Each structure stands twice: as structure tokens, then as C-alpha cells.
């Protein structure tokens, strides 16, 4: 009897976490204990073709079929599920509100939601999580809350509830990738200021932490797939897994950017990491990042860590083992595989729970009695279905499958040509789009920067030399006096796309006509807004 009670207790603390993306479905079985998180099982399966896209479940039956088979194969019976969603349709924003009791946060967020997100709020579910309590050192009573507010389309969340109904799952929470990742990554840093570079298949999440508090988070549309594609193109390989295996066995990535095609494919990613580190240092009195961490799917690619070390102005470390996470040795889970499941594991810690509005309102009105009534009603309906409905449904499904098979057989010849044309066009589009992403840099807005520079330049200031390279500018010039130079530098700081001015130097000299002139030089950095994709909505000022 005691053994049975222990088993039930363990099951209550055990969760099935599922993370969908366009290529794979990642699944973990995780227990939450006082000692930490215990991962019992992990696996990934290819996402069925055209069944899922950008956070939206398009064909829940196709996914349910594949997932059911694999869950049975791994002997997983856990039905308490936590989803973590990755989608460009999820809008997030960092906001600061007055310090209030936790139960009052939701009402404040709802009142100000239209100011946070320029969308039809009625079509979105808004939730938030506390990032930090900000205290005023001069007045202890003056406190504020720093929140991460997220908005998800209501229809998207409803689809996950429909899918869970098909699978027989009980939803514990629906989180989003940014928060799930944040919860686990902030446990991994051991320095005061750090940047986490989480490389996934299609994108890279760059998170800046001060101690364990998130300061900045950006998503770059570049991931492991781009590196693998570079290998496939150079080696003339047509199999993704074969190219990835080569990257993990041969060091194809050089220590520095020397023109090699495979190594150069990482330049866009590393330059964005470097730019974010510089931006964070400029916001914190030029305090540099203490350490950069690489984590995720690409950590086992040979040469990657060395290239990062030689390209970034900070120590670099690859995370191979996750702090606070234990691999279940009884089920033969390897600790080295867990870094590929950060979002799944982190979703168990403190998920933001997106709940359909109708269900949330029903729970508020009915409370526990409503849940019990639903359970009793559901059991009654299920019993009736077993006795009456199932034979009829099975016959109808068999008939429909036969008719569908006939229709597919008749239409397959005409569709085949259309599908071939579609995939050819799509492949060309992906190639062009990937090339476009790799060619975007800050120099694309040089004309705008020079125009702005001319508008703010005071009279009496003359530029002698100007060097520009990927958003960094070195300016040398002369002026009638130091005050004109100071005014010029101040005006440059006010230009919208300029985010840092440094190494300024002014000295006075006498020209050939014995006139006193002020010679100056300084550097500044301007940014192309199209280079990075914001995920937090934080304005960079």
C-alpha cells in the first residue's frame, strides 16, 4: 500500500513537456523535486510535413498519430503536459509598473495592454511574469516591478487545447520559448554580467543577464541549419544529418574569419552577439560583459567555441551540463543531451500559463465545483460513447478513409506536377532569403547617417577625415573652438540610430595663419534597425 502511494505522488510531480518547431517535436518527461529537476526521458521526432508552422498546429491528427506511436514506444504514460511555444506571432514587451500585490498585476496589465501592443487586444491572451523588483536606494518604500508581458493569439492557444483533447492530455500550462529558456538559463551563470547565446535550429536567442536578472533578450534569425547548409553546399552533400555529423567529427570551422565559406556563414551571428555586448556595456557605464556562454544544439560543432573566443571581447564557455538538472540513470538519459532540451526543461520551473478566455472565465465563476461537474459529465459521456457511439464511428471512419483514398488516387497525377513546381520555387525563395539575411549589415544605412550628420553639424565645424566600417565610424575634424566641438558631439549623440559615442579627444593648436583652432577626433556606432529582430519590445535609447 505504501509503495502505491509513493508512485501516485511521483506521478503528480511528473510532467510531459512538448516543444514544437518547424523541423522537430522535442519531448521531455520531467519531475520537479526539492533536489532539482529530474529528466526521465527525452526524444525528438520530425514534425510531420505541413502539420505545424510558426506556432500554429495545422494538422493535429497527423501530429497526434506520430506522437502517440513514439510515446508508446518509450513507455510514457504521463498525461500532465506543459507546452512551450516558439512563434513570431507572440509579442513580448518589458514594462515597469508601480509595486503592487501579485493579484493586482493582471488588472494593471489589462488596462494598459493597448499601449504595450498595437493589435486588437480582444484577439489576444495577455500574461506576464515578474523579472525584478526595482528598489530606490534613497527611499525603501519607493519600489517598482519590472515585468515581461507577452501577448499570444487566442486561436493559437485554443488549437493546443484541441490537440490535448485529441491526445487525452491534461494541460498544466502553456508557456512560450522566451520564458521557458529564461527560467533555466538564469540558473547557469556564475558571474555578475553575462550573455547567453542559445543556438537553435532556425534561430539564436541572445540573452544578457546581470546576476540572474534578464536585462536584454534578442532573437537573431540564424541557427544551426545555416551552418549545416554551408557544409552541404561546399561538400555537395544532399543529406542534412550527414553534413551535421561531419561538422561534429571534422573541424571545418576555422579559428578566425579568413574567407572560408563555412566559417564566414557564422559572421552574421557573431557580429550580432558582439553588437549586443557593446550595447549592454554602453548602457551600464561601459561595464563589459564578464563571460559569454554558448548553449544549445550547436555546442558540439568542432571549432565553434574557438571562433567565438577569438571574435568576442570576453571569455567564452560552452555549456555541456545544466546546473540544477539531474539525468535519470535508470532510464539511461545522458546529461550531455540535455542542453538540446533547454526550453522543455525550463518550462517546468515557472511557466507563464496562457488560458483561453472562455475557460478562464468559466473557472472563475464555477471554481472547483465547476471542475468536478465537468469531470463527472465527461466520464458519463465517455461511458456512453464506449457502449453506443464507437462502433458507428469506426464504421464511418473506415468508409471515409476508403473514399479519401479513392480521391487521392484520382488526383495524385495532377497534383504531382503542382507540388514539384511549388517545392522548386520555395527552394529558390529560401536560398535568396537566406542570402539576403546574411548580407544585411549596418552599412546599409550609411546615407541616412551622413544626412543626419550634416543636419546636426554646427557652423564652424569642418570634417577632415571619416572612416566607416560595419556601423563603426571614426571622425576627425577642426573647429573654431572647443565649445563648437562639444556641441557637435552632443548633437551626434542625439541622432536616432546612434547608440554609442566613445574615444572622443579634443586639443587646441595654431594654424598657418596663427589662428587658434580646435582639432578633434571621436568614434561612434550607428545601427541598422533591420539587422536584429526584437523579442522583448525594449526600446534601445
DSSP 288: P
Integer Cα distance of 369 and 377 in angstroms? 12
Evaluate whether residue 96 is within a structural domain.
Answer: no
Asked whether the beta carbons of 69 and 4 are under 8 A apart, the reply is no
- The pLDDT score that the predictor gives to residue 415 is 53
Tell me if 40 is assigned to some domain. Answer: no
Q: What is the pLDDT of residue 401?
A: 60
Give pLDDT, residue 172.
95
Q: What is the mean pLDDT of each run of 10 residues along the chain (541 residues)?
A: 40 88 90 90 92 91 94 93 90 89 90 87 91 85 89 94 94 92 88 89 86 83 88 90 92 94 92 89 80 87 94 90 90 85 93 86 58 50 49 54 57 54 66 64 78 86 86 87 85 83 80 76 82 44 40
- Same domain for 299 and 193, yes or no, is yes
Q: Which of 410, 433, 456 is the last residue of a domain?
A: 433
Same domain, 462 and 507: yes
C-beta of residue 530 within 8 angstroms of C-beta of residue 440: yes
The beta strand positions in 275-423, using DSSP E, are: 291-296, 316-318, 325-327
Closest CA to 529 of 489, 493, 499, 494: 499
Phi, psi angles (nearest 5°) of residue 24:
-135, 155
Q: The domain containing residue 481 runs over which residues?
A: 442-531
> What pLDDT was estimated at residue 422?
65
Domain containing 466 — which CATH number? 3.30.1360.100
Whether the Cβ atoms of residue 533 and residue 219 lie closer than 8 Å to each other = yes
| pLDDT number for residue 393 | 47
With respect to residue 478, please indicate whether it lies within any of the assigned structural domains: yes
DSSP string, 427-475: HHHHHHHHHHHHH--GGGGHHHHHHHHHHHPPTTEEEEEEEEETTEEEE
The answer as to whether 411 is a domain residue is yes
Identify whether residues 314 and 373 lie together within a single domain.
no
Q: Are residues 226 and 287 in the same domain?
A: yes
Strand 291-296 relative to strand 316-318, pairing: parallel
Question: 265 and 373: one domain?
Answer: no
CA distance to 66, 283, 445, 446, 519, per residue, from 452 (Å):
56, 23, 11, 10, 22
> Which residues partner with 150 through β-bridges?
92, 127
Cα 242 from Cα 250, distance rounded (Å): 12
pLDDT at 364: 62
State the DSSP string of 160-182: HHHHHHHHT-EEEEEEEHHHHHH
Amino acid at each position: 500500500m505504501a509503495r502505491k502511494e509513493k508512485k501516485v505522488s511521483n506521478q503528480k510531480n511528473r510532467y510531459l513537456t512538448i516543444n514544437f518547431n518547424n523541423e522537430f517535436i522535442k519531448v521531455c518527461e520531467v519531475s520537479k523535486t526539492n533536489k532539482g529537476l529530474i529528466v526521465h526521458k527525452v526524444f525528438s521526432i520530425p514534425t510531420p510535413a505541413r502539420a505545424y508552422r510558426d506556432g500554429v498546429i495545422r494538422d493535429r491528427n497527423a501530429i497526434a498519430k506520430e506522437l502517440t506511436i513514439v510515446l508508446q514506444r518509450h513507455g510514457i504514460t504521463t498525461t500532465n503536459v506543459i507546452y512551450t511555444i516558439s512563434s513570431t506571432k507572440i509579442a513580448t514587451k518589458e514594462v515597469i509598473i508601480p509595486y503592487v500585490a501579485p493579484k493586482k498585476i493582471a488588472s494593471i496589465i489589462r488596462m494598459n495592454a493597448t499601449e504595450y501592443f498595437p493589435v486588437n487586444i480582444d484577439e489576444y491572451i495577455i500574461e506576464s511574469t515578474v523579472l525584478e523588483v526595482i528598489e530606490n536606494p534613497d527611499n525603501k518604500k519607493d519600489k517598482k516591478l519590472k515585468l515581461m508581458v507577452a501577448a499570444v493569439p487566442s486561436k493559437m492557444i485554443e488549437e493546443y487545447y484541441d490537440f490535448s483533447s485529441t491526445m487525452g492530455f491534461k494541460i498544466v500550462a502553456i508557456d512560450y520559448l522566451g520564458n521557458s529558456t529564461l527560467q533555466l538559463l538564469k540558473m547557469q551563470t556564475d558571474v555578475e554580467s553575462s550573455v547567453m547565446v542559445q543556438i537553435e535550429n532556425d534561430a539564436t536567442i541572445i540573452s544578457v543577464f546581470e546576476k540572474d536578472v534578464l536585462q536584454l533578450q534578442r532573437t537573431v534569425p540564424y541557427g544551426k541549419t545555416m551552418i549545416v547548409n554551408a557544409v552541404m553546399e561546399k561538400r555537395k552533400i544532399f543529406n542534412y544529418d550527414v553534413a551535421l555529423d561531419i561538422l561534429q567529427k571534422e573541424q571545418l570551422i576555422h579559428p578566425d574569419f579568413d574567407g572560408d565559406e563555412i566559417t564566414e556563414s557564422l559572421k552574421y551571428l557573431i557580429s550580432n552577439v558582439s553588437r549586443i555586448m557593446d550595447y549592454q556595456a554602453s548602457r551600464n557605464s561601459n561595464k563589459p560583459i564578464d563571460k559569454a556562454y554558448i548553449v544549445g544544439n550547436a555546442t558540439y560543432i568542432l571549432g565553434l567555441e574557438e571562433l567565438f573566443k577569438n571574435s568576442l571581447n570576453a571569455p567564452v564557455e560552452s555549456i555541456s551540463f545544466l546546473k540544477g538538472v539531474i539525468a535519470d540513470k535508470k532510464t539511461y538519459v545522458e546529461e550531455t543531451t540535455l542542453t538540446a532540451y533547454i526550453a522543455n526543461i525550463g518550462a517546468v520551473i515557472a511557466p507563464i500559463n496562457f488560458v483561453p478566455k472562455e475557460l478562464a472565465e468559466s473557472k472563475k465563476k464555477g471554481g472547483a465545483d465547476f471542475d468536478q461537474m465537468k469531470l463527472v459529465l465527461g466520464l458519463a459521456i465517455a461511458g456512453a460513447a464506449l457502449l453506443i457511439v464507437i462502433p458507428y464511428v469506426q464504421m464511418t471512419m473506415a468508409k471515409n478513409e476508403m473514399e479519401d483514398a479513392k480521391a487521392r488516387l484520382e488526383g495524385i497525377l495532377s497534383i504531382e506536377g503542382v507540388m514539384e513546381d511549388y517545392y522548386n520555387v520555395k527552394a529558390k525563395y529560401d536560398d535568396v532569403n537566406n542570402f539576403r539575411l546574411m548580407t544585411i549589415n549596418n552599412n546599409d544605412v550609411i546615407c541616412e547617417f551622413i544626412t543626419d550628420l550634416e543636419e546636426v553639424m554646427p557652423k564652424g565645424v569642418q570634417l577632415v577625415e571619416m572612416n566607416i566600417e560595419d556601423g563603426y565610424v571614426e571622425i576627425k575634424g577642426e573647429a573654431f573652438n572647443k565649445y563648437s566641438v562639444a556641441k557637435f558631439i552632443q548633437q551626434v549623440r542625439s541622432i536616432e540610430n546612434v547608440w554609442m559615442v566613445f574615444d572622443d579627444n579634443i586639443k587646441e593648436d595654431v594654424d598657418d595663419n596663427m589662428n587658434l583652432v580646435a582639432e578633434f577626433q571621436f568614434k561612434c556606432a550607428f545601427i541598422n534597425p533591420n539587422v536584429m529582430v526584437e523579442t522583448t519590445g525594449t526600446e534601445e535609447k
